[in-house]
A and B are shown apart, each in its own frame.
Chain A
């Protein structure tokens, strides 16, 4: 018996000439909650589709619960929330969920699915009359209804408002705690950090980092501090607390910092020379590219 819920061995998939996934190796033990983090175009969605057998790899091997993806899908052992998954038009939420649950050998009770996905009041609503966030909750319910061993979620909180997001992650943690293997793709570092116990960072179709959320956050997290400097540029900016990198473009200075508060506090001494100070979350895309460069 394979103890891995998911095992990818040297998997590649290209679209035309463009490699979407490029020699990907990934093992996820049963019961784990793993975030697949990366910018758009990193290969997250392709990876999800390979796991579900919606795409066939050009090279390498995809295993789900010890068998092929099609076997896992046909056995109702894996279920997914797709970014571009739709519903049969004209039916009600409850009708759709009842139908979905009926396809699986051991479904969850419908009232529990409705409660977990926060759909109690929407059960009688027609699926083509839902807002984006509501539709996203129905997709979640659809994936959950069959009580699958492995749950795959592609950008699950897209189009959800803040409170729906919070409820969603609470529900997710509950599902993960119940022993389900959960793999979700996201491009938000915060989500990866809060929702998982392991983060795999993808960039350009490869794994560029793999570790605990705290480790990944330290590697790609950070923030940027920007300002305009009047007068001659002082030396020693790279020795300010928290600073990991310094970039100067004319009189604009950009500092990357692991501790933005400490950095700004240190800059306070030179406030007379500074203007247009901005503190921003790190551009993840930049951080990923830095990681990719480091990995190469």
Chain B
């Protein structure tokens, strides 16, 4: 399984679409938004620089994880690689686990690069443990997106998977607070936002950056999404072994 994980990571470094869409874009958006809104007064214990940094880091990580799971699995289903693997001594659950772990890990570069940009360009300073906690939480917290990607990869073919993945990425991001504070949204949308994994995922980052521990409700919502989507995806794979 670790061998498969390594192969996934090697391959990603050669994937220009991944590198541009999911790493360069969040960094560029961070630079843009922070220069426009950076002079706003701090709120919720966070300066606006830091809040936007976390927003773009989580936005990028979510997109990277979705891109590294859904379209790839759909493509590998279409081109016969998954069929080839099914004739090799690699259990289906190990394969799925490796895919999910690889996808989650591929969310980290966006977090690291946006953070580095924050440090270098805006002089963001956080205690070392906060950086570490943020990286760890924003790694674990991508689990529901990896499960969602596995499900997309199961249900779509290679052509539609990219479009669908981008659409879902933006749809999850828009009301999540990553693009604009949740409190300026209409009241119904605020309620929806709190049920979304994207909002709870970003919440993990904001809380740690502000010096709080992760909230139990954030963890529970993310866990529920992971379990639900994961079960659906696994049911799909069991049915489509051939």
User: Do A91 and B10 touch (CB < 8 A)?
Assistant: yes
| Chain A nearest Cβ from B48, distance in angstroms | 39
- Knowing A73-B89, A91-B7, A103-B89, say if A142 contacts B242 (CB, 8 Å): no
B35 close to chain A: CB less than 8 A: no
Query: How far apart are the CA atoms of A73 and B83 in the complex, in Å?
Result: 13
- Knowing A74-B89, A91-B10, say if A86 contacts B80 (CB, 8 Å): yes
B120 close to chain A: CB less than 8 A: no
- Knowing A88-B81, A89-B75, A102-B3, say if A54 contacts B89 (CB, 8 Å): no
A90 close to chain B: CB less than 8 A: yes
B86, closest chain A residue (CB): A54
User: Do B7 and A89 touch (CB < 8 A)?
Assistant: no
B36 close to chain A: CB less than 8 A: no
B91 close to chain A: CB less than 8 A: yes
B242, closest chain A residue (CB): A54
Query: How far apart are the CA atoms of A99 and B86 in the complex, in Å?
Result: 14
User: Do A87 and B91 touch (CB < 8 A)?
Assistant: no
Q: Chain A contacts of B90 at CB under 8 A?
A: 103
Of B11, B14, B75, B80, the contact of A82 (CB 8 Å cutoff): B80
B87 close to chain A: CB less than 8 A: yes
User: Do A85 and B80 touch (CB < 8 A)?
Assistant: yes
Query: How far apart are the CA atoms of A90 and B71 in the complex, in Å?
Result: 14
| Chain B nearest Cβ from A112, distance in angstroms | 19
User: Do A54 and B83 touch (CB < 8 A)?
Assistant: yes
User: Do B11 and A90 touch (CB < 8 A)?
Assistant: yes
B184 close to chain A: CB less than 8 A: no
A75 close to chain B: CB less than 8 A: yes
User: Do B87 and A79 touch (CB < 8 A)?
Assistant: yes
Of B3, B11, B83, the contact of A84 (CB 8 Å cutoff): B83
Query: How far apart are the CA atoms of A126 and B87 in the complex, in Å?
Result: 22
B7, closest chain A residue (CB): A99
Contact with A along B2-43 (1 / 0, CB 8 A): 011001101110110000000000000000000000000000
B76 close to chain A: CB less than 8 A: yes
Of B12, B81, B241, the contact of A54 (CB 8 Å cutoff): B241
Of A87, A91, A95, A103, the contact of B88 (CB 8 Å cutoff): A103
Query: How far apart are the CA atoms of A89 and B84 in the complex, in Å?
Result: 13
User: Do A76 and B10 touch (CB < 8 A)?
Assistant: no
User: Do A88 and B88 touch (CB < 8 A)?
Assistant: no
Contact with B along A45-85 (1 / 0, CB 8 A): 00001001111000000000000000001111011101011
A254 close to chain B: CB less than 8 A: no
| Chain B nearest Cβ from A212, distance in angstroms | 30
User: Do B242 and A49 touch (CB < 8 A)?
Assistant: yes
B79 close to chain A: CB less than 8 A: yes
User: Do A86 and B241 touch (CB < 8 A)?
Assistant: no
Nearest 7 A-B pairs (CB), nearest first?
A86-B80, A86-B79, A90-B11, A85-B84, A86-B81, A76-B89, A84-B80
A residues neighboring B (CB under 8 Å): 49, 52-55, 73-76, 78-80, 82, 84-91, 95-96, 99-100, 102-104, 126, 139, 142, 146
Query: Can you report 24 residue pairs joining A to B where beta carbons are below 8 Å apart?
Result: A52-B86, A54-B242, A55-B242, A73-B87, A73-B88, A73-B89, A78-B87, A80-B87, A82-B83, A85-B80, A85-B81, A85-B84, A86-B76, A86-B80, A86-B83, A88-B11, A88-B81, A89-B76, A89-B81, A91-B7, A95-B10, A96-B7, A99-B4, A103-B88
B residues neighboring A (CB under 8 Å): 3-4, 7-8, 10-12, 14-15, 75-76, 79-81, 83-84, 86-91, 241-242
In the complex, besides A52-B86, A73-B89, A74-B91, 13 extra interface pairs with C-beta distance below 8 angstroms are: A49-B242, A54-B86, A54-B242, A73-B88, A76-B89, A82-B80, A85-B84, A89-B79, A90-B11, A90-B14, A91-B7, A103-B89, A103-B90
